[in-house]
Chain A
Amino acid sequence: MSGTYLGMPAFPEAAHEAVGNKTLRGNLRHATHTIRAKRANAVAEVSDWAELREAGKQIKDHTLRHLDRYLVQLEESVIAAGGTVHWAADADEANAIVTHLVKMTGESEVVKVKSMATQEIGLNEALEAEGIRAYETDLAELIVQLGKDRPSHILVPAIHRNRGEIRDIFEREMSEWGRPAPEGLTDTPAELAEAARLHLREKFLRAKVGISGANFMVADTGTLVVVESEGNGRMCLTLPETLISVVGIEKIVPTWQDLEVFLQTLPRSSTAERMNPYTSTWTGTTDEDGPQNFHLVLLDNGRSDTLADEVGRQALRCIRCSACLNVCPVYERAGGHAYGSVYPGPIGAILSPQLRGTASEIDASLPYASSLCGACYEVCPVAIDIPEVLVHLRERVVQGGPVVREGNKVVLKPAKGHAAERAAMRAARWAFSHPGVLRTGQRAASRTRRVHPRTLPGPGKAWSGTRDLPAVPAEPFRDWWQRTGGGKEGTK
């Protein structure tokens, strides 16, 4: 994944800073609560939601189980329809392919549809290094780009900004990138949207190269699907002469019919709409309509490694709706930046450590960025059991074990930070399997209870800083049982 986030502090530190930011907390609370209620209504409108969810899960699982076959089929279909297919094992390779393709056109600027895959690989920075300017055209991405900021939400990357902040960014930065913000711009959303329309229009109309991701790729027809709201997607997908789509290999569905499930569940889950304003589908190239050169870059970048994990692979079912972010109590308070990845929130906490591995401090801490309340699983339209994967990844971080990285099997060492916890667990296992030892220990603990400290010393200090230590009873339970015959002879 991108180097943008390297050196991020672990989640608890980043989150600690974020929860102290009152504006951020207010912005997130307002936005997530707005969408939560709306989503619930949109879902309640369809009586067969449970069946749609189950079918979506099964379609994705089936696809993943035969992913090699469907990738080959998709490649054939896209080529037959007039497209060119490229394969990129990692971010660097994908960036190199796209940069080369843009250079071949002789252009030095591109317009972009919002795409998580290109965020993930740091495409904009890679293009910039080669003298190519990438213009983000989704409103929220534009706000992030103009504000020299980082995305904090999958669907609405600028969710951490309120209207007043957006107005200030537009007024200050738009002139650096092109058409300046209109005079006297206010902070009403309609005026802000109008300012974005004017600013980006000239870029759309002159663009020769468009770059997109895709929500779905249909293996049997070679069709790509982009689901959007503003029309910036349509602009990028139809006006340029060359279109380059960078898509993760897990975005495949086998058949055209399979779209009938996801085109119902995705809009309701993401923007809480019956249907989003615009959905574009295209199959290769069409004479005289839209780009005449179409390139599909299939991106692995840790996905095949994730696929190798029996429990963790379900994360690849994700359709990037962001419903799990909107209901998450941890996300609502910590904000997206604390997750140190383009994939924040519950899905990010299981996706990032799998795509990138758990070597860095931030990735090793992400499986803990959750209270395991399960709200994310409830709303997930493809039924990803996020808590299950979180617990699985915690185990991996603490105990280490075999994983696949870049296609190779490696054995992870247990994380250093958890040495004390592991030692305590080993001691407990030994004591519980030796009754005599346990009895002696428990009696000793009871006798010394008056001198027990309120907090733990050494490495345990942080843990007991926010928790009360349980009080040790005057008499061990087993002694009490033996003395009273299980309470028959009266208490005490």
Chain B
Amino acid sequence: MSSRERILGRVRRALADTPGDDTPIERAYLREHGDRGVEETVELLAENLADYRAIVHRCTSADLPATLAGMLAARGAKTVLVPPGLDPAWLADADTEQVQDLAESTPHELDRIDSVVTACAVAVAETGTIVLDGGPDQGRRRITLVPDHHVCVVRVPNQVVSSVPQALERLDPVRPLTWISGPSATSDIELDRVEGVHGPRTLEVVLVDSQASEDVNS
């Protein structure tokens, strides 16, 4: 008998006493917490991001290139990693040398790059979370992991949802997802939170006001 058959057999025998049919799961919990307008939701996102030590900026889409250029200059970044589908206009003002992510770039090469700029798939206000789904403007998972400085652009309000349940509804499980809430941290020394371990130690989030666009759905 294979282990598969053995385990499934054990499980079935263990469950012999249980009724086959059951009542549906009671989902009496909330879809979101509180009653907020669009702008309040964006403000909550900014507040919760900052609470977990992300640096938050807000600007209009017209100001985005200047904002990003200023952030990279302030950081002193000499090189910035760019996902393949990032809007070229975003970094048009930056003096920083742009490095394209290539399939053959090794982790060691990525480690020598100062910063990375990406978009995101969705952001969750209640938890201060940004979610990347590997889309063309976000790139492979490793590019937002190895460099020590991650700049993530969130289009508000379109990409912002209130809650975790709403975020899961928007996301495609087939894509590899990375949920990020603040820079890397640890509670392993005396159960007290310290920022900055293996992931980027600095996380900057730019909330860019997209024009009252046609695909507003939040």
Contact = CB atoms under 8 A, between A and B. Distances in A.
| A, B: real partners | yes
Interface of A: 27, 30-32, 34-35, 45-48, 51-52, 54-55, 58-59, 62, 65, 67-68, 71-72, 81, 87-89, 93, 137-140, 143, 155-156, 158-159, 162-163, 166, 189-190, 192-194, 196-197, 200-201, 204-206, 218, 221, 223, 229-232, 234-235, 237-239, 249, 256-257, 259-261, 263-264, 271, 273-283, 286, 288-290, 298, 300, 304-305, 307-308, 310, 313, 404, 407
Contacts of B142: 238-239, 289-290
B13 to A, nearest CB: 7
Contacts, number: 254
Contact of A65 (B2, B6, B15, B200): B15
B115 interface: no
Please indicate which of the listed interface residues B10, B127, B180, B186 has the most CB atoms of chain A within 10 Å of its own CB: B186
Given A71-B11, A407-B10, A55 B134 contact: no
Q: Nearest 10 CB-CB pairs, A to B?
A: A231-B199, A231-B198, A304-B10, A308-B14, A275-B127, A230-B197, A279-B179, A51-B29, A260-B165, A140-B188
A204 B107 contact: yes
Given A276-B181, A286-B175, A189 B145 contact: no
A286 B22 CA distance: 36
A271 B182 CA distance: 14
A37 to B, nearest CB: 11
Given A223-B173, A289-B176, A300-B10, A239 B128 contact: no
Contacts of A256: 168, 173
Interface of B: 2-4, 6-15, 17-18, 22, 25-30, 33, 48, 52, 103, 106-108, 111, 124, 126-129, 134, 140-142, 145-146, 164-165, 168-169, 173-200
A87 to B, nearest CB: 4
30 contacts: A34-B192, A48-B30, A51-B28, A54-B26, A58-B26, A62-B25, A67-B15, A71-B7, A81-B174, A87-B6, A88-B3, A89-B6, A166-B189, A192-B189, A197-B198, A205-B107, A230-B197, A231-B145, A231-B184, A231-B198, A234-B141, A234-B178, A234-B199, A239-B142, A257-B168, A271-B193, A275-B124, A277-B183, A280-B177, A282-B177
A47 B27 CA distance: 14
A87 B2 contact: yes
Nearest to A143: B188
Contact of B184 (A47, A156, A278): A278
A235 B18 CA distance: 42
A159 B191 contact: yes
Given A47-B33, A234-B178, 5 more contacts: A229-B184, A257-B168, A282-B176, A310-B17, A407-B6
Nearest to A222: B173
A65 B3 CA distance: 20
B194 A260 contact: no
Contacts of A229: 184-187, 197
B185 A65 contact: no
Interface of A is mostly: helix
Given A54-B26, A193-B197, A230-B185, A162 B14 contact: no
Contacts of A232: 197-198
A71 B8 contact: yes
Nearest to A233: B198
A230 B29 contact: no
Contacts of A68: 8, 11-12, 15
A82 to B, nearest CB: 11
Given A67-B11, A277-B52, A407-B13, A163 B189 contact: yes
A11 B200 CA distance: 43
A281 B173 contact: yes
- Indicate the member of A159, A238, A286, A298 with the most B CB atoms within 10 Å: A238
A196 B197 CA distance: 8
A62 B22 contact: yes
